[in-house]
Amino acid sequence: MFAEPREKPKEIVVLGAGVVGLTTAVLIQEKANYNVTIVADVLPTDPHNIRYTSHWAGAIHVFNDITNQLHRELERGTFYKLWEMSEPDAPTEQYFLRPDQTEHWYEKRREDDQLRNMPNYKPLASDALYPKAVEGATFTGLTIDTERYLHYLQSRFLAAGGSMVRGFVQHINEVIEGGASNFSSVRAANTTLAMGGKVTSPPDAVIVCTGLGSRSLGGVEDSNMYPIRGQTVVVRAPWVNFSRNVTRYEPEITYIIPRRSGDIVVGGSREDNDWYPVPRFKTSREILELGLAVCPELAPPEVRAVREPTVEDVLPLIVEEGCGLRPERKGGVRLEVEWFTRRSDNVKVPVVHNYGHGGYGFMMSWASAENAVRLLEGALSPTEAPKMLKAKL
């Protein structure tokens, strides 16, 4: 018997190279018969900036105290995956840390709080609570070394045969008609006539993982998207190996997130509809003051041995100060298929939306990507009539 001729792979364009786009692109590329190209304005190896939120995440996995069923599922599904990746001796263990984590809450959490499933979960005794806190717990947490983890996702995607192109997409129709080719250097110097019309390769589907960019991306223009600005200070303090998250007063949250590298993320602010792109001096100062109050261990051990530490003792340890815009969406994450008609041949092309992860893109990344892949495969299956599809719970 002859082997079946190999199918021509389906061409998929993923817009966006943040944690959501990379994870989605990895899952699709690693399946048989797909060829994925990422088109993104900012890439994971670029200097950190305001148009790429993933560099600014803590990042930690915590179950939120919420009623949104889709989010609960996305958090749970992703937790199992990240927990597996962070197993001692797993090849990916190096991107994670499993610190002891303590949280103090100023409001009671729900009865069905998923956080109770965290390994080694124990409620805090009332005499161990911070003043005014009503509840608290300790458990084994999970933190992600965001920079290295993003590079890992990018390498895994490229090694599986994926491609990446830098480009700013003004309207989704650009890629629906021309695929990624419009953004390659060959295209720039060639005309359709000289190339006999061969320069563009229309994709079979497009996946939108443009985070906050989905607010202005032409054809998507999702007015439910808005930023929640978050400022942090990263210090090098490898002697801190535990995680503390103290909800002081809404919407301020003080957290201490240790990374495998020995860096500690001290945060942070939550500022709705605030687009200011660089750190504010006053906020950085407040973050360090609150951080030190919650965690005096931030100061070097030799200082603490002789006196009470002050913010001045922490300043020399600063590695980075920055801020990111959490891609928040009224109504929650958008996971659904929308059909666009391609102008050149009138073909209906499925566009899978996977954006709007707010402050939780890392901890919802894998399950969101799995949902997006399911939607993609449904939309591309020959029996599926073009219609709106939504994420399944």
CA-based torsion, 268, 368, 179, 154: positive or negative: positive
Per the document, the length of the chain is 393
Query: From the list ligand NAG, ligand FAD, none, which binds 357 (C-beta under 5 to 8 Å, kind-based)?
Result: ligand FAD
Q: Which residue among 190, 311, 377, 378 contacts ligand NAG (CB under 6 A)?
A: 190
Q: Which residue among 189, 305, 385, 393 contacts ligand NAG (CB under 6 A)?
A: 189
Q: Which residues sit opposite 137 in a β-bridge?
A: 103, 123
Smallest Cα–Cα separation from 173: which of 53, 37, 345?
345
Query: From the list ligand FAD, ligand NAG, none, which binds 59 (C-beta under 5 to 8 Å, kind-based)?
Result: ligand FAD
Q: With beta carbons less than 8 A apart as the criterion, state whether 350 and 380 touch.
A: yes
Query: From the list ligand FAD, ligand NAG, none, which binds 253 (C-beta under 5 to 8 Å, kind-based)?
Result: ligand NAG
Q: With beta carbons less than 8 A apart as the criterion, state whether 324 and 146 touch.
A: no
Q: Please give the Cα distance from 366 to 303 (Å, whole number).
A: 42
Containing 200, the helix (H) or strand (E) segment is none
Q: Which residue among 12, 17, 60, 217 contacts ligand NAG (CB under 6 A)?
A: 60
Rounded (5°) CA angle 374-340-224: 75
Rule CB under 6 A: say whether 124 interacts with ligand NAG: no
Q: Please give the Cα distance from 160 to 254 (Å, whole number).
A: 39
Rule CB under 6 A: say whether 355 interacts with ligand FAD: yes
Q: Contacts with ligand FAD in 193-232 (CB under 6 A)?
A: 209-213, 217, 230, 232
Q: With beta carbons less than 8 A apart as the criterion, state whether 384 and 83 touch.
A: no
Q: C-beta of 361: minimal distance to ligand FAD in Å?
A: 2
| Helix runs in 171-262, H state only | 172-178, 185-189
Give 28 or 313: the residue with its C-beta nearer to ligand FAD: 28
Q: Which residue among 79, 183, 360, 366 contacts ligand FAD (CB under 6 A)?
A: 360
Q: Please give the Cα distance from 346 to 344 (Å, whole number).
A: 6
Q: Which residue among 162, 268, 291, 350 contacts ligand FAD (CB under 6 A)?
A: 268
Rule CB under 6 A: say whether 186 interacts with ligand NAG: yes
Smallest Cα–Cα separation from 354: which of 379, 377, 335?
335
- Applying CB under 6 A, the residues found at the interface with ligand FAD are 15-21, 40-42, 51-54, 56-60, 168-169, 209-213, 217, 230, 232, 267-268, 324, 326-327, 355, 357-363
- Applying CB under 6 A, the residues found at the interface with ligand NAG are 9, 35, 37, 58, 60, 62, 64-65, 99-100, 103, 105, 163, 167-168, 180, 182-183, 186-190, 195, 241, 245, 247, 253, 255
